[in-house]
Amino acid sequence: MDMTTQIDASNDCAGVSSLLNRVGDKWTVQVVVALQDDARRFNEIKRRVAGISQQMLTRTLKSLERDGLVERCVRPTTPPQVEYRLTELGRSLSKPVKELAEWAISHRAAIRDNQVRYDTNR
């Protein structure tokens, strides 16, 4: 990919922002990470994503499914089993997301310092 590409604000940014808005909500990334290796069941995901409510997990999975990033697979047993797994599209998204994650992790301290400095000088 050409890293020198200039992003055209007027044409592309709306779409990019909406994706970032989508993927930047409180839970989406954590759910995707919980699914990065294997397919998982509802409560399995819930256990892996600390602090999420059933409500928010349901909503998050549903919109991920709507975007085609996650596949839902129902097995009509009793009790019913529902498995979620990343689609190919979902896995492809996790690459750039991981890069952003790496950035966040390596600059987290610097940002915190900047914030503290800003807040105290204020």
Q: Cβ 8 to its own copies, closest distance in Å?
A: 8
The CA distance from 64 to 52, in Å, is 16
For 104, the token pair is 């966040």
Please state, in angstroms and as integers, the Cα–Cα distance from residue 4 to each residue in 20, 79, 96, following that order.
Answer: 21, 53, 16
Of 71 and 94, nearer to DNA (C-beta) is 71
Binding mask 51-70 for DNA (x = CB under 7 A): xxxxxx-x--xx--------
| Contact call for residue 118 and its own copies (CB under 8 A) | yes
Per-residue binding string, DNA, 14-33, x by CB under 7 A, is -------x---xxx------
Give the residues across from 40 on adjacent strands.
84
Which pairs with CB-CB distance under 8 Å and at least 24 residues apart come from 43-48? 45/84
> Residue 47 binds which entry of DNA, its own copies, none, with Cβ cut-offs from 5 to 8 Å by kind?
none
Of 50-58, 86-94, 97-105, 110-118, the segment contacting DNA by CB under 7 A is 50-58
